[in-house]
Structure 1
Amino acid sequence: MAELVRRGTTPVVAQALRSTAAATISYVVALQLSSEPVPLTAPLTALLVVQVTLYATLTTGIRRVNSVVAGVLIAIAFSALVGLTWWSLALIILASLAAGHLVRVDEFVPEVAISAMLVLGVTQVSDTAWDRVVETLIGAVVGLLFNFLLAPPVYVRTAGESIEDLARRLRTLLLHISDELTEHIPVARAAARLHEARRLDQDISQVDASLRQAEDSLRLNPRVREGLLHRIVLRTGLDTLEICTVVLRVLARTLTDLAKHRTDEPLFPPDVAAGLQALFGHLSQAVQSFAALVTTQVSANAEEAEARLAAELAKAKADRDDVAELLLFRVQQHPRQWQLHGALLAEVDRILDELDMDHRSRRLMEELDRHAQERRERFPRWAKARDRLRKSWSRLRRG
Structure 2
Amino acid sequence: MKVPGSVVGAVGTAGLRSRMTAGFGDGSTVLRAAVSAGLSWWIASALLHSDAASLAPAGAILATQATPFATARKSLQRAAGILFGFLLGVAATASIGTNAVSVLLVVLVGMYAGRAMNLGSQMHQIALTAVLVMGAATTFGYGASRLEDNVVGVLVGTCIGLALPAPGFTRRAGEELARLNREMADLLAEIARGLAEEDWAARTGDWVRRARSLSRELDTVRQAVREAEDAIRWRPRGRLARPRLDRLAEATQCLDHVGHQVRGITRGLYNLTFREGRPPALHWAQHETPLLPLRAEAPAGLDGVLAALAAMLDDLAGVHVREEAPAPEVRTRLAELLGEAETRFLRTALGQSPGYADWRVLCTAGILEDARKMLHELDPAIGPHKAAFG
TM-score, normalised via structure 1 length: 0.73
Instruction: Describe the SS at the equivalent of 2:94.
Output: helix
- 2:318 corresponds, among 260, 281, 292, to 292
Aligned pair partner of 2:297 in 267, 270, 284? 267
Matches within 5 A, 1:197-236: 197-236=211-250
Equivalent of residue 318 in structure 1, options 337, 343, 353? 343
Whether contact under 8 Å (1:30, 1:42) holds in the other structure is yes
**Post-superposition CA distance 1:153-191 (Å, at most 9, x none):** 341111111111111111111011111112223644211
Q: What corresponds to 1:364 in structure 2?
A: none
Are the aligned partners of 2:225 and 2:249 in contact in 1 as well (CA < 8 Å)? Answer: yes
DSSP-derived class of the 1:225 partner: helix
Q: Given the superposition, is the C-alpha separation of residues 99 and 322 from structure 1 closer, same or farther in structure 2, using an over 3 Å criterion?
A: closer
Structure 2 vs 1, CA of residues 26 and 304 (structure 1 numbering), >3 Å: closer, same or farther?
A: farther
CA displacement at 1:244 relative to structure 2: 0.9
- Cα distance, 1:102 vs structure 2: 5.5
Work out which of the residue numbers 86, 89, 98 in structure 1 matches 2:100: 86
Point out where structure 2 has 5 or more consecutive residues left out of the alignment.
1-11, 278-293, 370-390
Tell me the residue number matched to 2:63: 49
Tell me what 2:151 maps to: 137
Change beyond 3 A, Cα 1:253–1:41: same
- Is contact 2:175-2:320 (8 Å) kept? no
Closer, same or farther in 2 for the Cα pair 1:97/1:322, shift >3 Å? closer
Alpha-carbon distance change, 224 to 117 in structure 1, aligned in 2, over 3 angstroms: same
Q: 1:23 aligns with which of 34, 37, 47?
A: 37
Query: Across the two proteins, how many residue pairs are aligned to each other?
Result: 328
What is residue 354 of structure 1 aligned with on the other side?
Answer: none
Equivalent pair of 1:292/1:302 in contact (CA under 8 Å): no
- 8 Å Cα contact 1:185-1:266 kept in structure 2: no
Deviations 1:184-211 (A, max 9, x none): 2364421111111111112212221122
**Does the 8 Å CA contact 1:67/1:105 hold for their aligned counterparts?**
yes
Does residue 238 (structure 1) correspond to residue 252 (structure 2)? The answer is yes
Kept in 1, the 8 Å contact 2:90–2:139? The answer is yes
For 1:323 and 1:103, how far apart are their aligned partners in 2?
56
1:275-354 matches, within 5 Å, as: 275-299=301-325, 302-328=327-353
Within the alignment, does 1:250 sit opposite 2:264 as a pair?
Answer: yes
Looking at structure 2, the residues matched to 282 and 157 of structure 1 have their Cα atoms a distance apart, in angstroms, of 27
The answer as to whether partners of 2:269 and 2:298 remain within 8 angstroms in 1 is no
Task: Please identify runs of 4+ aligned residues in structure 1 that moved more than 4 A.
Answer: 3-6, 101-104, 263-266
Q: Percent identity?
A: 25
Q: More helix per residue: 1 or 2? A: 1
Q: In the alignment, which of 170, 188, 198 is matched to residue 174 of structure 1?
A: 188
Q: CA deviation at 1:17?
A: 1.5
1:185–1:14 CA distance, 2 compared to 1 (3 A): same
